[in-house]
Amino acid sequence: MSQIHTRILPVPHVSSSLLPADFGLHFSDASQRESDVQEPLEKLQVSFLSEQSKHSLQTAAEHLRSGELVAFPTETVYGLGACALRSDASERIYAAKNRPADNPLIVHISDTHMLHQLLPSPFQINEACWALMRAFWPGPLTLLFPVGRASDGSPVVPSTVTCGQPTVGVRMPSHPVARSLIALAGVPIAAPSANASGRPSPTAAAHVMNDLGPRHVLSYIVDGGECHVGVESTVVDATTVPGEVRVLRPGGITVEQLTEVLRPFPSLSLRVYGKDLARNAAQEAAPTTPGMKYRHYSPDARVLLVSDGTQADPTLSHVIQSAASSLECERDVRVGLMFALDSPLLLSLDVPAIHHWAQSHPLNRLSPVLQMPGLQLCLYSLGQRSEPETAAQRLFDGLRTLDSCVPWSGQEGACDLIVAEEVDETGVGLAIMNRLRKAASSTVRVSVP
């Protein structure tokens, strides 16, 4: 069998926004008059303003319809997609990623017509669920729904996608490229993150190529630029437990945003898995959604998570030196730092060159390599502490960059150790910390002198 050679299908874009026109696309609702169009659309119709966009998306859509794999951008991370209605197609996803076969896949749709094709015919979507859909679809919110049955009694969404669960996670992405691709394919698309299983999720086409290109497992990566949200979707169960809405995985939609939308439903309790909803060993053994069971998001380098402590705790400098000394290196230890530029912990390091760079290059992500006795340091900026959305967008790119792309002495290479700082768990910080804790090998409390 000949090897598959992965190719990039570009979709040019003219700005950093997520308007369809910026990608050479136009959206309309085939079921409504143009003046009545409101999201989520009932039946998405795509027309093209760019021949390049048309060629790339039609090529990728045809490939998906044939049961093959295509990687594509969403507003959260890049997804590895296949037809959600075919077992053989979803099996290719698991094989390509080396993904555990009991970790369900999220199904992506372009409009509500596609959603109803997946559900049992007598099922009625409750008002709370509709409220969440109206507020956050299209967008980074995945909702759990019961799986419908075909006329022969088989599930509409095969068990290879749901891992035998009676529910399926569904979302409508807001990235115009993702949504157009699904509509053009004409089928719902099962798509986990387009990375090797366990690695940091990809937020750029180059990340996908680095992970999956050498594996020769897919023909096409649709390049729609860098992802805007940077962490995966929030997964919510608003259907299976009466009186409760459960956040099973934090993500791009915050608990605070969910709370506001659900305010008109005072009889409902909003509970967050792992916080006010206790961890459940049985559920983690047979997860209903990705992100509940396995260690994820891990680079090859050891990740050390640090948090504010008391004066009795060691300083950040001491922690870095101690961790570096435990590594067996015949050269200076390479340490990557992932901090906000105005972090008190970062500023507590007695490294004036870092402070100077942070002040004079606030828009840059990666600092020059700084030489210290026995160490080389490189800082990846997560923006300012007041900008958690920037930290979320850069999180996976930071882990990947420090794990492979730092110009040590003029030659790109990986860190031996990555030190990252905890962030406040309000807003999108809850999702950031969920990913960092899964990536880190340990957490250390440190003091600010």
Q: Which of 218, 250, 285 is the last residue of a domain?
A: 285
Q: Are residues 110 and 229 located together in one domain of the fold?
A: yes
User: What domain range is 96 assigned to?
Assistant: 7-285
Q: Are residues 335 and 269 located together in one domain of the fold?
A: no
pLDDT tens digits, residue range 69-80?
999 999 999 999
For the chain, percent of residues with pLDDT exceeding 90: 85
Q: Are residues 396 and 442 located together in one domain of the fold?
A: yes
Q: What would the mean pLDDT of 70-94 be, rounded to a whole number?
A: 98
Q: Is residue 270 in some structural domain?
A: yes
pLDDT tens digits, residue range 253-308?
999 999 999 999 999 999 999 888 665 655 555 566 665 555 567 899 999 999 99
Q: What is the pLDDT of residue 243?
A: 96
Q: What is the pLDDT of residue 294?
A: 53
- C-beta contacts of 207-216 below 8 A and 24+ residues apart: 207/78, 207/396, 207/397, 207/400, 208/71, 208/78, 208/80, 209/6, 209/8, 210/400, 210/404, 212/6, 212/71, 212/80, 212/96, 212/97, 213/6, 215/96, 216/3, 216/4, 216/5, 216/6
What is the CATH classification number for the domain harbouring 40?
3.90.870.10
The most confident of 35-49, 155-169, 297-311, 363-377, by mean pLDDT: 155-169
Report the domain count for the chain: 2
For the chain, percent of residues with pLDDT exceeding 70: 94
Q: Is residue 296 in some structural domain?
A: no
Q: Tell me how many degrees the CA angle 141-296-90 measures, rounded to the nearest 5.
A: 65
Q: What is the pLDDT of residue 280?
A: 61
pTM (two decimals): 0.95
Q: Are residues 403 and 265 located together in one domain of the fold?
A: no
Q: Are residues 273 and 342 located together in one domain of the fold?
A: no
Q: What would the mean pLDDT of 144-153 be, rounded to a whole number?
A: 95
**pLDDT exceeds 60 at position 57:** yes
Q: Are residues 317 and 279 located together in one domain of the fold?
A: no
